[in-house]
């Protein structure tokens, strides 16, 4: 026995040494060494607007809803991260999020390096064609609108300018208006701040402001991949002006914006939710229809859920939950509309249509169910709902009024299937535009249906 004792002591010593060595390794090596062993469930590529905050927050919420533990975010390369968690078996799972611009998301779907594309603008015709082998990327199974955002036009808080038109914005960012004095501000040069070419934010600004007015971005504009860095730069530059997603206004001042004959509008929650604000936009997830990856569908369904939309709001974007809003009657409203505003409330949703079609678009198809849920929950199903249609100008005003009412009737058809009995269906033709009618995008935006409840 006396001879065996030293052997046992050596074993104890060796085990203790091994545990001390492992503890040292775990303490000394960065977490990223171990993160490589995680099982990647899903790869998301695309928009910085989504990928910087909203996308990771939705993934974390999904993990928590699944009962996973130790949900955390691990940073990788610039604008890349992994959302990780442990499942019930203690295995580390992760979703990778790379946020280098909306265009990179569609390229990643094409080369197979991602299963989901995050985009802060609609898919382009060329991208649809490039991905046609994966299915109809504009179909309701592929295109998911997960939130509404507004492009804020920001300046330094000390800047006295309060409102601009989209035409003025285009001239400013094209470098044609170079001095603040021309806009009613203090004399001095205008310094332009813009997102980079891969950014969906830039694509949206280029489409809604620059291209719509036949302009291109001035070569001297300062370009940024990071939304935070752009906003902070403007807030510290008395001569600066930039465009940014709504959650990134930070310390800057947002301007009121007018388009065409519309009144200047600040990027408020209600005006963005209804997409009336001239620079409002949708945020998308795109997935090939019929994808075998079950985590794609799980994340999409979670994003549309009540819990997912609560995360949208917490992340600083506008959720698609339906609420009743009091609208202040004004002298610029048609008499019947002014009466409606005085007696009823408007729901925070507008129904819009597929381009060149009387069919509801993908957002509107989901909004039908959201509106029905609201009406049922608030006892508004019988004789409490008014649908109000609007449109773009026609040579015959009577035809414009008729077409706007027909749009309202199209929405009535879908809501009636859910059991709604309506109080009134009406159309106001081309009155109260929210966008310029000079371009297709503006005319499409003006073709809308509002929902009011008594």
Q: What is the 3-state secondary structure (H, E, C) of 67-118?
A: CCEEEEEEECCCCEEEEEEECCCCCEEEEEEEECCHHHHHHHHHHCCCCEEE
Tokens coding 446: 């003006």
Alpha-carbon separation of residue 314 from 307, 334, 354 (angstroms): 11, 37, 30
CA dihedral 224, 166, 452, 246 (to 10 degrees): 20
| List of E strands, 396-442 | 421-427
Q: What distances in angstroms separate CA 428 from CA 65, 273, 354, 408, 433, one per listed residue?
A: 45, 21, 20, 10, 10
Other Cβ atoms closer than 10 A to 331: 5
Q: How many helices (H) and strands (E) does the chain have?
A: 16, 18
- From residue 227, how far is each of 232, 238, 301 by CA, in Å? 9, 18, 27
Q: Is 294 exposed, middle or buried (0-12, 13-18, 19+ CB in 10 A)?
A: exposed
Q: Which domains does the chain have, with CATH numbers?
A: 33-147+285-302 (3.40.190.10), 149-273 (3.40.190.10), 322-453 (3.30.1330.60)
Taking the C-alpha atoms of residue 121 and residue 131, their distance in angstroms, rounded to an integer, is 16
Q: Which residues of the chain have pLDDT under 70?
A: 1-36, 356
Q: What are phi and psi of 35, to 5 degrees?
A: -60, -25
Torsional class of 248: left (φ above 0), alpha (ψ -120 to 50), beta (otherwise): alpha
Could you tell me the pTM of the whole model? Answer: 0.78
Residue 178 makes CB contacts below 8 A (sequence gap 6+) with 189, 190
DSSP 251: T
Identify the H or E element spanning 241. Answer: strand 240-245
CB 271 within 8 A of CB 277: yes
* Bridge-based pairing state of the strands 116-119 and 382-390: unpaired
Identify the bridge partners of residue 193 per DSSP, sorted by sequence position: 222, 242
Neighbours of 97 (CB within 10 A): 27
| Residue 26: predicted pLDDT | 41
What is the β-pairing status of strands 222-224 and 280-286?
unpaired
Cα 206 to Cα 193: distance, rounded to the nearest angstrom:
13
Supply the angle between the helices 294-304 and 55-65 in degrees, to the nearest 10: 100
CB of 70 closer than 8 Å to CB of 86: yes
Query: How far from 270 is each of 169, 209, 267, 293, 378, CA to CA, in Å?
Result: 23, 22, 9, 36, 20
Measured distance CA(339)–CA(400) in Å, rounded: 21
Position 28 scores a pLDDT of 47
Residue 431: C-alpha distances to residues 39, 245, 353, 393 (Å): 55, 29, 18, 8
Kind and range of the H or E element at 441? Answer: helix 440-446
């Amino acid at each position: 026995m006396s001879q065996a004792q030293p052997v046992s002591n050596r074993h104890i010593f060796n085990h203790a040494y091994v545990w001390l060595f492992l503890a040292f390794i775990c303490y000394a090596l960065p977490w990223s060494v171990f993160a490589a062993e995680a099982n990647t469930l899903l790869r998301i590529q695309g928009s910085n607007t989504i990928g910087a905050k909203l996308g990771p927050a939705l993934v974390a919420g999904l993990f928590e809803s699944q009962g996973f533990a130790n949900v955390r975010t691990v940073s990788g390369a610039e604008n890349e991260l992994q959302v990780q968690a442990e499942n019930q078996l203690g295995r580390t799972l992760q979703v990778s999020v790379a946020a280098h611009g909306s265009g990179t998301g569609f390229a990643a779907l094409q080369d197979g390096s991602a299963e989901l594309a995050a985009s802060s603008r609609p898919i382009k015709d060329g991208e649809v064609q490039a991905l046609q082998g994966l299915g109809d990327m504009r179909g309701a199974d592929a295109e998911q609108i997960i939130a509404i955002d507004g492009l804020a036009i920001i300046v330094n808080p000390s800047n006295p300018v309060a409102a601009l038109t989209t035409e003025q914005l285009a001239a400013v960012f094209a470098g044609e208006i170079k001095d603040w004095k021309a806009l009613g501000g203090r004399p001095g040069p205008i310094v332009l701040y813009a997102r980079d070419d891969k950014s969906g934010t830039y694509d949206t600004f280029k489409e809604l402001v620059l291209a719509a007015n036949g302009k291109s971005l001035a070569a001297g504009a300062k370009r940024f991949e990071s939304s935070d860095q752009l906003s902070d730069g403007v807030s510290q530059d008395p001569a600066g002006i930039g465009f940014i997603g709504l959650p990134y206004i930070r310390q800057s001042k947002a301007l009121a914006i007018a388009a065409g004959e519309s009144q200047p509008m600040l990027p408020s929650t209600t005006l963005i939710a209804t997409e009336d604000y001239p620079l409002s936009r949708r945020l998308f997830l795109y997935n090939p229809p019929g994808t075998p990856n079950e985590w794609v569908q799980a994340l999409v369904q979670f994003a549309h859920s009540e819990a997912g939309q609560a995360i949208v709001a917490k992340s600083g974007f506008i959720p698609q939950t339906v609420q009743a809003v009091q609208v202040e009657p004004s002298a610029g409203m048609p008499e019947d509309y002014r009466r409606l505003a005085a007696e009823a409330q408007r729901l925070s949703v507008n129904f819009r249509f597929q381009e060149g079609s009387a069919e509801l678009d993908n957002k509107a198809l989901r909004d039908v169910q959201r509106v029905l849920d609201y009406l049922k929950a608030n006892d508004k199903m019988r004789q409490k709902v008014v649908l109000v249609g609007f449109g773009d100008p026609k040579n015959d005003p009577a035809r414009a009024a008729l077409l706007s009412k027909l749009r309202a009737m199209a929405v009535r058809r879908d809501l009636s299937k859910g059991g709604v009995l309506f109080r009134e269906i009406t159309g106001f033709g081309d009155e109260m535009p929210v966008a310029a009618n000079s371009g297709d995008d503006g005319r499409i935006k003006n073709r809308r249906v509002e929902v009011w409840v008594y």
